[in-house]
Amino acid sequence: MGVVEEPGLMQRHRLTVAEYHRMADAGVLAPDARVELIEGEIVDMAPMKGTHAWVVRRLDRLLQLTVKERAIVSCQLPLRLGDRSEPEPDLMLLRPTPNEYAQAHPTAADVLLLIEVSESTLAFDRGVKLPLYAQHGVPEVWIVDLDNRLVRFFRRPAGASYADITATETPGATPIALLPGVSIDLAGILS
């Protein structure tokens, strides 16, 4: 375990992904625990409210119907980001592989699109997870911000941020940059 010293604070021990997995294998983490590893720290995931669940199901269905065999739709499954992070985004479109990631979790290089649905978690999604996605090169992130009734789009990672950032209150047909000719109709997603 890595030790992080911060002035004025007690030492904190940061876990690696391998240590995190060993904890799960040993039963330290319950099989149904809603947690993710972010920069070496185990973070509780917020309880999913009804609207959040509806939006995730709706987007999952739209993505499945739209991308067909051009991408793998991954819903609330791990994404390996280096040795210290394994978040579980709400949705991802992944590059197709023959084994569909049976041997290892996908990495940022496998992601075509990542979607987070935020209902009371916007500060964490934007302030912690989004910079992590950018640093690892996730090419496109959408945040469905239910509290502010916006869909936020982040494209072209640049360091810990994105070079192309837009938002809309009235989403419609939205192209996926790494799937030319493919658009997802987001109309009604904020209803």
Q: Is 126 exposed, middle or buried (0-12, 13-18, 19+ CB in 10 A)?
A: middle
Question: What residues are paired with 2 via a beta bridge?
Answer: 14
CB 149 within 8 A of CB 55: no
Q: What confidence score (pLDDT) does residue 11 get? A: 72
Tokens of 52: 């959040």
Q: Tell me the pLDDT of the chain (191 aa) as tens digits.
A: 555 555 666 777 899 999 999 999 998 988 888 999 999 999 999 889 999 999 999 999 999 999 999 999 999 999 999 999 999 999 999 999 999 999 999 999 999 999 999 998 999 999 999 999 999 999 999 999 999 999 999 999 999 999 999 999 999 999 999 999 999 999 999 98
The alpha carbon of residue 122 and the mean position of all alpha carbons in its chain are separated, in whole angstroms, by 13
**How many CB atoms neighbour CB 48 within 10 A?**
15
Distance CA 173, CA 189 (A): 11
The alpha carbon of residue 86 and the mean position of all alpha carbons in its chain are separated, in whole angstroms, by 9
Task: Please state the pTM of the whole predicted model.
Answer: 0.92
**CATH code of the domain occupying 48-185:** 3.90.1570.10
Q: Which sequence spans correspond to the domains of the chain?
A: 48-185
CA dist list (Å): 65 to 59, 62, 70, 73, 187: 10, 5, 11, 10, 15
State residue 187 phi and psi, 5-degree precision.
-60, 130
**Rounded (10°) CA dihedral 173, 123, 115, 44:** -150
